[in-house]
Amino acid sequence: MTSAPTIDQAAAISGSDQIEIEAPQETVWEVLATFEDWPSWNPDVKSMSIEGPVAPGTEFRWKAGPGTITSTLQHVDRPRVIAWTGRTFGVNAFHVWRLEPRDGKTFVQTDETFDGLIARLFRGRMGKTLAQGLESGLRHLKAEAERRAA
């Protein structure tokens, strides 16, 4: 896969998932990197606001689950890699998405970590939540990208 920042293997919680999407890499990128549209295709995201371009240093705020998450883009390599950090309720997250073209389709790998006191205290429950969130996000991304590519 494309080189990008790697997740912290020492973090309290880490998760990884992948999916093949029957859509061109650029289409998948557009779905993923058009942050303000997330609530329209991903029911897990209740609200989203981004101030600025899709570039390192740009912040975005979004509501998923019980709290609002403040995230900062860390790495943007269109249309291959996008990564951000996030913080909510004392949990520090790091999320990397990698997109790789394969015979007209796109292979997507997503990796995320949670760290901080809350993540360490509730490791089991938060690990399950992370795994479910990654799977759900990939499933919704696939549905929207394939809908747009059809």
Residue 74 belongs to what H/E stretch?
A: strand 67-77
Confidence of residue 1 (pLDDT cuts 50, 70, 90): very low
Residue type, 14: S
Q: Domain 13-149, what fold?
A: Alpha-D-Glucose-1,6-Bisphosphate; Chain A, domain 4 (3.30.530)
Give me the helix-helix angle, 25-33 and 123-149, nearest 10°: 120
Number of H helices, E strands in the chain: 4, 7
Break the chain into its structural domains and give their ranges: 13-149
Q: Is the pLDDT of residue 3 over 80?
A: no
CA–CA separation, 28 and 112 (whole Å):
19
48: β partners: 62
CA–CA separation, 34 and 38 (whole Å):
7
pLDDT tens-digit series, residues 26-56: 999 999 999 999 999 999 999 999 999 999 9
CA–CA separation, 40 and 146 (whole Å):
15
Residue 149 to residues 18, 28, 82, 94, Cα–Cα distance (Å) = 19, 9, 21, 29
CA–CA separation, 95 and 84 (whole Å):
5
CB atoms within 10 A of CB 77: 13
pLDDT tens-digit series, residues 51-102: 999 999 999 999 987 789 999 999 999 999 999 999 988 899 999 999 999 9
Contacts 24+ apart (CB under 8 A), 41-46: 41/140, 41/141, 41/143, 41/144, 42/136, 42/137, 42/140, 42/141, 42/144, 43/140, 44/133, 44/136, 44/137, 44/140
pLDDT of 7 = 80
pLDDT tens-digit series, residues 98-138: 999 999 999 999 999 999 999 999 999 999 999 999 999 99
